[in-house]
Amino acid sequence: MGIWGKIKPPFWNRSDSELELLNYRRLWRTTLFSAIAVTLAPLVFLAGINFYQFEEQYQLQRNEITNHVQRLLAVNKVQLANFLEERRSALTYVNLANSFEQLADLRHIATVFRRLRMSFGGFVDLGLIDSQGIQRAYIGPYNLEGREYKDQDWYKEVQIRGIYISDVFLGHRNFPHFVIAVRHEGPDDQTYVLRATIDTGKLNSLLSATDLHPIGDIFLVNSEGVLQTPSTWFGGVLTRLKALPQPLAQSGVVSETNPNGGPPFLVATAKVEGSPFYLVVAKQPAAALQKWDLLRINVIVMVAVSVAAILVVIWWGSATLVNRIYEADLRRVAMLHEVEYTNKLASIGRLAAGVAHEINNPVAIINEKVGLMGDILSMGEDFPRKDKFMDQIKVIKDSVRRVSEITHRLLGFARHLPVKSEQIHLEPLIKEVLGFLGREAQYRNIDINVDIPGDVPALEADKGQIQQVLLNILNNALAAVEDGDKIDISVANRAHEQVAITITDNGMGIASQDLQNIFEPFFSTKGEKGTGLGLSITYGIVQKLGGHIEVVSELGQGTSFIVYLPVKQRPHRLEGPGGEDAARMEV
User: DSSP per residue over 45-58, as a string?
Assistant: HHHHHHHHHHHHHH
Per residue in 409-429, pLDDT tens?
666 656 655 666 788 888 888
pLDDT at residue 1, rounded to an integer: 60
pLDDT at 349 over 80: no
pLDDT at residue 7, rounded to an integer: 77
pLDDT at 223 over 50: yes
Average pLDDT over residues 81-89: 92
Per residue in 493-537, pLDDT tens?
888 788 999 999 998 888 887 887 788 776 777 665 666 677 878
Q: Which residues contact 39 (CB under 8 A, 6 or more apart)?
A: 310, 314
pLDDT at residue 299, rounded to an integer: 85
pLDDT at 67 over 50: yes
Per residue in 145-203, pLDDT tens?
899 998 999 999 998 989 999 999 887 778 889 999 999 876 666 789 999 999 888 88
pLDDT at residue 18, rounded to an integer: 60
Average pLDDT over residues 132-138: 93
- What is residue 187's three-state secondary structure? coil
Q: How does strand 193-199 pair with strand 177-183?
A: antiparallel
Give the integer Cα–Cα distance in Å for 363 and 168: 137
pLDDT at 45 over 50: yes
Using pLDDT thresholds of 50, 70 and 90, give the confidence band for residue 580. Answer: very low
pLDDT at residue 575, rounded to an integer: 40
pLDDT at residue 573, rounded to an integer: 47
What percentage of residues in the chain have a pLDDT greater than 70? Answer: 89
DSSP string, 136-181: EEEESSS--TT-B-TTSHHHHHHHHHSEEEPPPB-GGGTS-EEEEE
SS (H, E, C) 462-520: CHHHHHHHHHHHHHHHHHHCCCCCEEEEEEEEECCCEEEEEEEECCCCCCHHHHCCCCC
pLDDT at residue 572, rounded to an integer: 47
Per residue in 285-300, pLDDT tens?
887 788 888 888 888 8
Using pLDDT thresholds of 50, 70 and 90, give the confidence band for residue 26. Answer: confident
Per residue in 472-489, pLDDT tens?
888 888 888 888 889 999
Q: Please tell me whether the peptide bond between 214 and the residue prior to it is cis, using omega within 30 degrees of 0.
A: yes
Per residue in 360-369, pLDDT tens?
888 888 988 8
User: Do the Cβ atoms of 409 and 445 come closer than 8 Å?
Assistant: no
pLDDT at 583 over 70: no
Q: How many CB atoms lie within 10 A of CB 411?
A: 16
Encode burial over 101-121: b for 16+ CB neighbours within 10 A, e otherwise. Answer: eebebeebbeebbeebeeebe
pLDDT at residue 422, rounded to an integer: 81
Q: What is the mean pLDDT of the chain?
A: 83
Give the integer Cα–Cα distance in Å for 205 and 209: 6
Give the integer Cα–Cα distance in Å for 350 and 356: 10
pLDDT at residue 532, rounded to an integer: 67
What are the φ/ψ torsions at residue 275 (nearest 5 degrees)?
-145, 165
Average pLDDT over residues 259-276: 83
pLDDT at residue 279, rounded to an integer: 93
One-letter identity of residue 279:
L
Encode burial over 526-542: b for 16+ CB neighbours within 10 A, e otherwise. Answer: eeeebbbbbbbbbbbbb
pLDDT at residue 577, rounded to an integer: 36
One-letter identity of residue 345:
L
Per residue in 527-577, pLDDT tens?
656 666 778 788 888 888 888 899 998 888 899 999 999 988 764 444 433
What percentage of residues in the chain have a pLDDT greater than 90? Answer: 24
pLDDT at residue 416, rounded to an integer: 56
Task: Tell me which DSSP letter residue 566 carries.
Answer: E
